């Protein structure tokens, strides 16, 4: 069934070509870019999320009476192709703003493009701190809680653990490196007594899990920080379970509580890991209930974190456009800075100081329930509480 829909979609896209995109002049167009073909597992729920948002916005009368149209492009996972797509959206389609992106380097590439071409860009998923700090620019905003924020949330819980000997396992690229660096820095500030006994850097997507698990075990840490995700995480968990790496050791893990990463583990889900994530099944707030109901009604499927990000990205874009009452990038920036809006996770604000939203994340523990992994004891951590002081941010961010 799924296959057929794809084929029909592809054929339609090919045949209709530009026609499908030719919106009426009064419509407001948003350009959206993501790694649909490279990372379908994350971008499919994400796409469903933003499609739901578009539907809701237009059902409610659009943006200041104008219909919202999202034109979406695949970047194939390559920064250079993302820029070509961005260029097409801006030059050819005349979109009011750019949104989207998943991988950090693509987020940065599009952000740099936006800065150069003076286009408003709302980065959805890339986690690197550079997007809003060291390489931040006037035109770029970011929705999802950054690496730093998630690290700070985890450190809060990790610092309470008695463990003193820590080992780290992280994918060998910027995301893994900076996640470990921030975690170590914040952790060592709170717990000067901690020792870092081993670090493993498997290449992203190519972990040789057996030797890695064995090497970590040999260092005999009391606790482990994990930053791997996706297929690497599956291999790591399976090897770790079989070899007893996690027995009697605390594990703190980035992102593992997100359904995208937790669900594939099924009955192999390790218990008691402290993780950030999205326990959609246990969030009981009216905002989230409304989202969940609408999502399940439309797709007959449960949301992943990507669904939230996709949904909120377009909701935020619409809110910014509505407030600005214009598609002029400078007016959009003015409108976005300090703008607060509702989200399925509660109210969020785009900070004026660094253009980071205060969307937070859930921190909890992994558990096994009916042969499936879940997050228990989850608590929502507001993004605003885990950002450095304004003075520090000023130092991190280049002057516009």
Partner 1 sequence: MAFYVVQFLTGLASAASLFLVASGLSIIFGVTRIVNFAHGAFYMIGAYIAFTLTERLSGAFGFWGSMVLAAIAVALIGVLVEMVLLRRIYHAPELFQLLATFGLTLMVEDLVVLIWGPDDLVGRRAPGFRGAIDFFGQNIPSYDLFLIVLGPVVLGILWLLFQRTRWGVLVRAATQDRDMVAALGVNQKWLFTSVFAVGVFLAALGGALQIPRDAVHHAMDLRIIVEVFVVVVIGGLGSIVGAFVAAVLVSELNAFGILIFPKISIILVFLVMAVVLIVRPWGLFGKPEAPARKTPGLTVNPWRPLTSNERLLALAALVIAATLPLFAGNYALTVGSEIAIFVIFAVSLHFLMSVGGLASFGHAAYFGLGAYGVAFLAKMAGLPMIVCLLLGPLLGCMGAAVFGFFAVQLSGVYFAMLTLAFAQIVWSIAFQWVSVTGGDNGILGVWPEKWAGSPSHFYWLALGVAALVTIALRAMVFSPFGYALRATRDSLLRTEAIGINAKRIQWTAFVIAGTTAGIGGALFAYLKGSVFPDNLGISLSVDALVMVLLGGVETVSGAVIGAIVYKALSIWLISQTDLSKLVLGAFIMLIVVVFPKGIVGMLEMLAQRRRKSSPPGSSLLAKPIESAE
Using CB under 8 A, which residues numbered 226 to 255 contact partner 1? 230-231, 234-235, 238-239, 242-244
Angle, in degrees to the nearest 10, between helices 305-324 and 329-336: 110
Closer residue to partner 1 in complex, CB, 82/387: 82
Least distance between partner 1 and beta carbon 87 (Å): 5
Q: Which stretch binds partner 1 (CB under 8 A): 82-90, 351-359, 364-372, 382-390?
A: 82-90
Q: Is 165 an interacting residue with respect to partner 1 (CB under 8 A)?
A: no
Closer residue to partner 1 in complex, CB, 39/363: 39
Which value, in Å, is the radius of gyration of the alpha carbons in the chain?
Answer: 21
> Which residues between 110 and 149 bind partner 1 (CB under 8 A)?
111-113, 115-116, 128, 130, 135
Least distance between partner 1 and beta carbon 388 (Å): 20
> Which residues between 259 and 278 bind partner 1 (CB under 8 A)?
263-266, 268
Torsion angles phi and psi, residue 224, rounded to 5: -130, 135
Edge-to-edge, what's the strand order for the sheet holding 274-277? 195-200, 165-169, 223-226, 250-257, 274-277, 361-369, 372-381
Q: Is 200 an interacting residue with respect to partner 1 (CB under 8 A)?
A: yes
Least distance between partner 1 and beta carbon 235 (Å): 5
Quick one: which of 158, 211, 209, 206 has its CA closest to 180?
Answer: 158
Q: Which stretch binds partner 1 (CB under 8 A): 3-11, 182-190, 274-282, 354-362?
A: 3-11
Would you report the helix, strand and coil content of the chain in percent, each value rounded to 5? 50, 20, 30
Q: Is 14 an interacting residue with respect to partner 1 (CB under 8 A)?
A: yes
Closer residue to partner 1 in complex, CB, 23/161: 23
Q: Is 301 an interacting residue with respect to partner 1 (CB under 8 A)?
A: no
Least distance between partner 1 and beta carbon 29 (Å): 14
Residues sharing a CB contact under 8 Å with residue 151, sequence separation 6 or more, in sequence order: 179, 182, 183, 186, 254
Strand-pairing partners, residue 379, are 363
Least distance between partner 1 and beta carbon 377 (Å): 25
Q: Is 61 an interacting residue with respect to partner 1 (CB under 8 A)?
A: no
> Which residues between 83 and 102 bind partner 1 (CB under 8 A)?
83-85, 87-88, 91-92
Least distance between partner 1 and beta carbon 128 (Å): 6
What tokens appear for 269 in the block?
């889900």
> Which residues between 24 and 53 bind partner 1 (CB under 8 A)?
36-38, 40-41, 43-44
- Indicate the helix (H) or strand (E) that contains 379: strand 372-381
Q: Which stretch binds partner 1 (CB under 8 A): 141-149, 257-265, 277-285, 364-372?
A: 257-265
∠118-119-121 over CA atoms, to 5°?
130
Least distance between partner 1 and beta carbon 397 (Å): 14
Closer residue to partner 1 in complex, CB, 112/250: 112
Task: Annotate 288-333 with DSSP letters as a single string.
Answer: HHHHHHHHHHHHSS---HHHHHHHHHHHHHHHHHHHHTS--HHHHH
Q: How far apart are CA 391 and CA 400, in angstroms?
A: 16
Q: How far apart are CA 316 and CA 336, in angstroms?
A: 9
User: How many contiguous H segments (helices) and E segments (strands) does the chain have?
Assistant: 13, 14
Residues sharing a CB contact under 8 Å with residue 198, sequence separation 6 or more, in sequence order: 167, 168, 215, 216, 218, 219, 221
Q: Is 218 an interacting residue with respect to partner 1 (CB under 8 A)?
A: yes
Closer residue to partner 1 in complex, CB, 109/318: 109
Q: Is 399 an interacting residue with respect to partner 1 (CB under 8 A)?
A: no
Interface size with partner 1, residues (CB under 8 A): 78
Q: Is 183 an interacting residue with respect to partner 1 (CB under 8 A)?
A: no
Least distance between partner 1 and beta carbon 311 (Å): 18
Q: How far apart are CA 164 and CA 176, in angstroms?
A: 22
CA distances from 6 to 3, 12, 213 (A): 5, 10, 39
Least distance between partner 1 and beta carbon 393 (Å): 19
Per-residue binder mask for partner 1 (CB under 8 A), 364-393, x = binder: ------------------------------
Least distance between partner 1 and beta carbon 199 (Å): 6
> What are the b/e assignments for 37-75, b being 16+ CB within 10 Å?
ebbeebbbbbbbbbbbbbebbbeeebbeebbbbbbbbeb
Least distance between partner 1 and beta carbon 334 (Å): 24
């Amino acid at each position: 069934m799924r296959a057929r829909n794809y084929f029909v979609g592809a054929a339609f896209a090919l045949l209709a070509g530009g026609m499908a995109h030719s919106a009426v002049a009064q419509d407001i167009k948003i350009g959206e870019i993501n790694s649909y073909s490279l990372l379908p597992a994350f971008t499919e729920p994400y796409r469903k999320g933003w499609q739901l948002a578009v539907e809701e916005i237009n059902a409610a009368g659009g943006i200041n009476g104008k219909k919202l149209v999202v034109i979406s492009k695949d970047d194939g996972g390559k920064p250079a192709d993302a820029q070509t797509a961005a260029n097409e959206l801006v030059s050819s389609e005349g979109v009011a703003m750019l949104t989207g992106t998943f991988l950090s380097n693509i987020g940065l590439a599009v952000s740099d493009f936006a800065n150069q071409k003076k286009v408003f860009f709302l980065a959805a998923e890339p986690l690197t701190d550079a997007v809003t700090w060291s390489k931040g620019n006037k035109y770029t905003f970011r929705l999802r809680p950054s690496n730093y924020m998630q690290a700070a949330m985890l450190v809060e819980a990790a610092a309470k653990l008695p463990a003193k000997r820590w080992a780290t396992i992280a994918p060998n690229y910027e995301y893994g490196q900076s996640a470990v660096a921030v975690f170590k820095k914040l952790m060592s500030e709170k717990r000067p007594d901690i020792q870092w006994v081993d670090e493993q850097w498997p290449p992203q997507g190519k972990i040789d899990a057996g030797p890695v698990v064995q090497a970590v075990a040999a260092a005999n840490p009391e606790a482990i920080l994990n930053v791997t995700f996706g297929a690497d995480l599956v291999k790591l968990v399976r090897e770790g379970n079989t070899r007893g790496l996690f027995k009697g050791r605390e594990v703190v893990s980035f992102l593992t509580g997100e359904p995208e990463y937790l669900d594939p583990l099924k009955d192999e889900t390790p218990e008691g890991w402290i993780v950030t994530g999205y326990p959609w099944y246990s969030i009981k707030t009216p905002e989230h209930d409304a989202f969940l109901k609408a999502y399940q009604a439309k797709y007959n499927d449960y949301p992943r974190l990507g669904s939230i990000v996709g949904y909120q990205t377009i909701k935020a874009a619409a809110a910014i456009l509505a407030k600005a009452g214009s598609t002029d990038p400078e007016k959009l920036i003015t409108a976005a800075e300090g703008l607060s809006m509702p989200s399925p996770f509660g109210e969020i604000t785009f900070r004026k100081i660094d253009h980071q939203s205060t969307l937070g994340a859930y921190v909890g523990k992994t558990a096994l329930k009916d042969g499936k992994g879940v997050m228990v004891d989850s608590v929502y951590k507001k993004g605003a509480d885990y950002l450095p002081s304004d003075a520090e941010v000023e130092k991190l961010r280049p002057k516009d």
